[in-house]
Amino acid sequence: MNAPSPTVSAHASGLSYVSPAPDSPWSTYLSQIDRVLPYLGSLARWAETLRRPKRSLIVDVPIEMDDGTVRHFEGYRVQHNLSRGPGKGGVRYHPDVTLEEVMALSAWMTIKNAAVNLPFGGAKGGIRVDPKKLSLKELEKLTRRYTSEIGIVIGPQQDIPAPDMNTNAQIMAWMMDTYSANAGATVTGVVTGKPVHLGGSLGRVKATGRGVFVTGREAARRIGLELNGARVAIQGFGNVGSAAAELFAGAGAKIVAVQDHTGTMANPNGLEMGALIGSARLHGGVGEFRGGERIDDEAFWETDCDILVPAALEGQVTAKRARRLKAKMLLEGANGPTLPEADDVLAERGVLVVPDVICNAGGVTVSYFEWVQDFSSFFWTEDEINLRLDKIMVDALKKIWDTADRHRVTLRTATFAVACERILTARQERGLYP
């Protein structure tokens, strides 16, 4: 591959679409691949396969708006790697979504699915749109047309979308219905994260937060940190952050700071979770909560705490913030929250990072359970789901921890080593066609 230009984006320079723009999620992913190469032995011969998405589909999504005008939206579905099974990964609706971002997110899904040993490859999709500016009818039309356009590459055996940022169970229901209408049969297994009475799984909504808690609990045990009384700070109080917060509080930890887009609330004695969740639901964020003190957003990164959970956006933990963190452990609930330079700072400072590609894998694990349940039309209890999720996460982290000890590397590089070995072994065993 050509060396990536440090300053020029692929589009502006005429470089290949796989050449990364500086500081983009795709460049972060490529640098993570560079770091794992020395641990792949002879499999490194196949590593180029990880630097190129297998298939990238760009679609035009035209819809008639409520006022009679016609608007066109840009949509993507990227299947990064299918060596271990069908593609699996969410669909994001956001005005800033780009092909390059979707490529990175699909690549992280390849790594994540292999790290927890699910029989899936990695995929991701997105539409450049601000869904808050659409009516419900327009959102439904957009979703149905997008599903129809990507219908040539998705399917229960090909690629199974799921919710991501700004998409939810209702959007998955429309996707399932559109795909089924075109197929002439109800195909519940084409998407996961559906409503429970349409073939969705119990436990899916809180699964990512539960996985963050389980990996945090196991990592804490290994470093001798007692969860009962531990101080936890969380950025993001949405699906992932609030579910993780509830479980940590249930284990006796104190949630000493929570930040979302409405502000940062802190209480060194612990924020009361039931009341905080109620307030956040009522006011659309934590900013109005009366059971804590409002602090400056930047001060969040200096909170006196044992565990810090970024569970909101990409690129939040910069090198500058990493130097000021007081936590012993960082649990990456969000995808790509830590920049590569910050990773180095945290490693030097002895802060343990449980990386996104294992820490937030609870969601896709229960998505896998949903897909299995849809195929067999036999549904499990929530207790069964939570127990199986716990076991998969504990086993995966153990293997990663052993690999980190053996190679004396960070958990991130160890997770990539475990995952890439599985992906490239599959690639090698399948062989190249023709």
Task: Tell me the catalytic residues.
Answer: 124
d(CA 366, CA 10): 36
What number of helices (H) and strands (E) belong to the chain? 14, 12
Our CB check for ligand NAD shows the closer of 126 and 333 to be: 333
Is 112 within any annotated ligand binding site? yes
Nearest to 420 by CA among 26, 43, 19: 43
Among residue numbers 195 through 224, which ones bind ligand NAD (CB under 6 A)? Answer: 208
Stretch that binds ligand NAD, among 25-33, 58-66, 237-245, 408-416 (CB under 6 A): 237-245
Q: Which stretch binds ligand NAD (CB under 6 A): 23-31, 32-40, 140-148, 257-265?
A: 257-265
For residue 311, state whether it binds ligand NAD (rule: CB under 6 A). Answer: yes
CA distance 433 to 79: 18
Cβ neighbours of residue 221 closer than 8 Å, sequence gap 6 or more: none
According to DSSP, the β-strands at 122-127 and 87-93 are parallel
Reference 214, options 190, 247, 240; nearest CA is 247
Q: What is the 3-state secondary structure (H, E, C) of 216-263?
A: HHHHHHHCCCCCCCCEEEEECCCHHHHHHHHHHHHCCCEEEEEEECCE
d(CA 208, CA 206): 6
237 binds ligand NAD (CB under 6 A): yes
> Tokens representing 254?
């104190």
Q: Which positions from 128 through 167 interact with ligand NAD, judged by CB under 6 A?
A: 164-165
CB 418 within 8 A of CB 115: yes
Asked if 346 touches ligand NAD (CB under 6 A), the answer is no
Binder among 155, 156, 238, 270 for ligand NAD (CB under 6 A):
238
Q: Is 141 annotated as a binding residue?
A: no
70-81 sheet: strands from edge to edge: 55-64, 70-81, 122-127, 87-93, 159-163
Q: Which residues pair with 370 in a beta bridge?
A: none
Taking CB under 6 A as the rule, does residue 261 contact ligand NAD?
yes
Rule CB under 6 A: choose which of 28, 235, 279, 303 binds ligand NAD.
235
CB of 108 to ligand NAD, least distance (A): 9
Q: Which one of the spans 32-40, 42-50, 306-314, 413-421 is the region binding ligand NAD (CB under 6 A)?
A: 306-314
- For the CA atoms of 353, 359, 360, 362, what is the dihedral angle to 10 degrees? -170
Q: In this structure, are strands 159-163 and 87-93 parallel, antiparallel, or unpaired?
A: parallel
Quote the least distance from Cβ 375 to ligand NAD, whole Å: 21
Residue among 208 and 338 whose Cβ is closer to ligand NAD: 208
Answer yes or no whether residue 239 interacts with ligand NAD by CB under 6 A.
yes
Residue 191 within binding range of ligand NAD, rule CB under 6 A:
no
Among positions 75, 199, 355, 363, the unique one binding ligand NAD when judged by CB under 6 A: 363
Determine if residue 367 is labeled as part of a ligand binding site: yes
Tell the smallest beta-carbon distance from residue 287 to ligand NAD (Å). Answer: 9
Minimum distance, C-beta of residue 314 to ligand NAD, in the bound complex (Å): 6
Q: Does 360 bind ligand NAD (CB under 6 A)?
A: yes
Tokens 């579905």 belong to residue = 77
**Are 386 and 210 in contact, with CB atoms under 8 Å apart?**
yes
Are residues 285 and 260 in contact, defined by beta-carbon separation less than 8 angstroms?
yes
Tell me: is residue 326 an annotated ligand-binding position: no
Stretch that binds ligand NAD, among 127-135, 175-183, 329-337, 339-347 (CB under 6 A): 329-337
Select 253 or 331, whichever has its Cβ closest to ligand NAD: 331
* Residue 260 contacts ligand NAD per CB under 6 A: yes
Residues interacting with ligand NAD, by CB under 6 A?
164-165, 208, 235-241, 259-261, 285, 311-313, 333-335, 360, 363
Annotated binding site for NAD(+): 208, 239
Annotated binding site for substrate: which residue ranges? 88, 112, 367
